[in-house]
Structure 1
Amino acid sequence: MKIVHIDELPVEERAPRGRPGMAKRSLIMTGEDSSRPDNFSFRIMHFDDSGRFSPKHRHNFAQYYYVLDGETVFGDATLSAGWLGYMPEGVFYGPQTGGIHSIIVLQHGGPSGQGIIGYDQHSEAFEALKKTGSFEKGIYRPSAGVQAPAEQDSYEAIWEHVHQRQLVYPTPQYSGPVNMDTNAFPWTPVEGAAGVFIRSYGAFTHCRYGACSYRIEPGAAASISGRGMCIVLRGEGVVREEASLEEGVFRKLTTVYVEAGEQVLFSPTQEAEILFLGLPSLDQISELPAIDSDANAAAA
């Protein structure tokens, strides 16, 4: 178990790498080893009205978006507060636009085992590529004389710079993004846990990791297990890891990372709502299967 309070973290203001628009970002947590296929990056982003734009693109990792406030647009879908999006690996989504809004972003290595590059690797590659080309509206274009495609998605160019090989996308397990209005899901009592209610949003991919929310009344306690992030949307109280008896406090936007095999207990002093975003564990992630590069080219 790892506890992080967002109000104790520095806030960074910058344009998203290679994409227009200004944002304030709190980097909450990343995996400790970027070479692992279960690596992740978790942050909260606050966008102003300076023209955020990201073109239609795809990734070789999976990710969640949760809208805290405002509205953001993903292609034909407009997501407002309480909407949760799951973006499977290999699936095209976007373009992304939006005015003033705040979102939770959890990017993570998906079931194909390709992982996700680390934050430092991403930053170093971005700065290196700026010396050999330019980024504009989410597209990287190399300078004249540079041996590279005429244009690429910015993340794809960064990934290939880090790995020094072509990015081959995994075959999508879904036809597109999965967008969920969490406010439309009913609260269901958790059997054997008085005062605890759950909203279940589904399990994703053959790895069967999922997302849900818990509502916990004062004096009750909710036990949460399975690898993932617990984000406190409201309330405060005490959380402890049941095996080690490690304990800490939680409050609004506290994040508690639960590792595979751990079980944590949330005991609120005022009604609490916890968003749980599940992550695939290392033993669930398959070895990278053979990928048809011709099919990738056709899909693009």
Structure 2
Amino acid sequence: MAIAHRSNAQREGASAHRNEGIAFEHLLVGEEGTKDNFILTVVTTEDEYKTPRHRHNFEQIRYVLKGEMQYGPNHIQKEGTVAYFCEGVHYQQKGSDGSETLLLQFAGPSGQGYMSQRQLRAGAKELQSKGSFHDGVFVWGEGREGKRNQDGYEAVWEYVNGKEVRYCKPRYLAPVIMDPQSFDYVPMRGSDGVAEKSLGRFNERGAEIRMIRVGAGVDFVLKAPDRPLVVTVMSGEGGADGDIYGPLSAWRVLRGKETRLSAELETELFIVGLPAFDD
């Protein structure tokens, strides 16, 4: 297991398929081409950043660390809240100046996987020979049959994959926004000094969001019995499997594996159980 830290994260600006005013610090990436590929990144936006109304064939979880994000007139995500975006749900984005969001993107229950950032950026660059991007929309050049305007991400996905994207009917009709402060920690049975709060478990593949608090001086074994876990440290310091961690350190626990933590300071972990694709 390797622990990633924000201080050495890979940094990138906006991809060609979206507007400027957004930047990325990639903490963790999965395996390109696999059904359970994913990416964990810290996203910074400015006031100028916005997208058209769109949807995806993958899922997202967003934890706003600073500022706020707007996803439409009735969906504003405030600092300190967590949002789950199911596959196929429509939304748009409007940034706020200097907002920071912990963003996890991963495969939806339809099992179409998640296109890597490398594929996305290379595909967007190549696609510009066939048209141009404007305000998050790809405008096809002359000679294309059917509609000329297409969502930028959708156009890149179809170009990279060589087929038409398909969207499942959304299981939730809007982004689900949760306030972790409204949930209580419950002591974990058999683990003195450790408590847990469950924020939700979604769809038949079981994407799950929870938080764990480990007291100072406490040792704890975090297990991933039935699905991979993506773990982010929200606060605290300590060690995990011989490496050190601090705020916004992150790692993945593979299915059937475990991580041994020793908390020097009280530690709060944000944990997402990725969908299980047993078939």
1:86 and 2:84 are equivalent in the alignment: yes
1:73 and 2:74 are equivalent in the alignment: no
CA distance in structure 2 between the partners assigned to 1:270 and 1:3 by the alignment: 18
TM-score of the superposed pair, with normalisation by structure 1: 0.86
CA distance in structure 2 between the partners assigned to 1:145 and 1:210 by the alignment: 45
Aligned residues: 275
Structure 2 regions of 5+ residues with no counterpart?
A: none
Shift of 1:166: 1.0
CA distance in structure 1 between the partners assigned to 2:16 and 2:267 by the alignment: 35
- Of 236, 247, 256 in structure 2, the residue corresponding to residue 261 of structure 1 is 256
1:2 and 2:2 are equivalent in the alignment: yes
Equivalent AA in structure 1 for residue 5 of structure 2: H
CA distance in structure 1 between the partners assigned to 2:10 and 2:154 by the alignment: 28
CA distance in structure 2 between the partners assigned to 1:179 and 1:222 by the alignment: 29
CA distance in structure 1 between the partners assigned to 2:11 and 2:139 by the alignment: 30
1:28 and 2:6 are equivalent in the alignment: no
1:275 aligned residue: 270
1:135 aligned residue: 133
- Of 52, 58, 62 in structure 2, the residue corresponding to residue 61 of structure 1 is 58
2:186 aligned residue: 188
Shift of 1:122: 0.9
Shift of 1:16: 4.3
User: Following superposition of structure 1 onto structure 2, how do residues 187-226 of structure 1 map, counting pairs within 5 Å?
Assistant: 187-226=185-224
Q: Check whether the contact 1:239–1:250 (CA below 8 A) recurs between aligned residues.
A: yes
Shift of 1:148: 5.8
1:118 aligned residue: 116
CA distance 1:222–1:78, shift in 2 (3 Å): farther
Equivalent AA in structure 2 for residue 43 of structure 1: T
CA distance in structure 1 between the partners assigned to 2:145 and 2:122 by the alignment: 20
Structure 1 regions of 5+ residues with no counterpart?
A: 241-246, 287-300
TM-score of the superposed pair, with normalisation by structure 2: 0.93
CA distance in structure 1 between the partners assigned to 2:18 and 2:248 by the alignment: 27
User: Following superposition of structure 1 onto structure 2, how do residues 233-272 of structure 1 map, counting pairs within 5 Å?
Assistant: 233-240=234-241, 247-272=242-267
CA distance in structure 2 between the partners assigned to 1:261 and 1:255 by the alignment: 18
Equivalent AA in structure 2 for residue 198 of structure 1: E
Q: CA RMSD in A?
A: 1.7
Equivalent AA in structure 1 for residue 275 of structure 2: P
Structure with the bigger percentage of strand? 1
SS in 1 for 2:250: strand
Q: Check whether the contact 1:2–1:258 (CA below 8 A) recurs between aligned residues.
A: no
CA distance in structure 1 between the partners assigned to 2:22 and 2:151 by the alignment: 20
SS in 2 for 1:233: strand
Q: Residue by residue, what CA displacement relative to the aligned partner does 1:247-278 show, whole Å, maximum 9, x if unpaired?
A: 21111111011111112122210111111022
Equivalent AA in structure 2 for residue 99 of structure 1: D
Q: Check whether the contact 1:56–1:96 (CA below 8 A) recurs between aligned residues.
A: no
Q: Check whether the contact 1:69–1:81 (CA below 8 A) recurs between aligned residues.
A: yes
Q: Check whether the contact 1:6–1:26 (CA below 8 A) recurs between aligned residues.
A: yes
Shift of 1:11: 2.9
Shift of 1:223: 2.9
Q: Residue by residue, what CA displacement relative to the aligned partner does 1:115-134 show, whole Å, maximum 9, x if unpaired?
A: 01122211111001112211
Q: Check whether the contact 1:55–1:96 (CA below 8 A) recurs between aligned residues.
A: no
CA distance in structure 2 between the partners assigned to 1:68 and 1:222 by the alignment: 26
1:290 aligned residue: none
Which runs of 4 or more aligned residues in structure 1 lie more than 6 Å from their structure 2 counterparts after TM superposition?
none
1:48 aligned residue: 46
Q: Check whether the contact 2:206–2:274 (CA below 8 A) recurs between aligned residues.
A: no
CA distance in structure 1 between the partners assigned to 2:152 and 2:82 by the alignment: 25
CA distance in structure 1 between the partners assigned to 2:145 and 2:2 by the alignment: 44
Shift of 1:145: 2.8
CA distance in structure 1 between the partners assigned to 2:239 and 2:28 by the alignment: 20
1:289 aligned residue: none
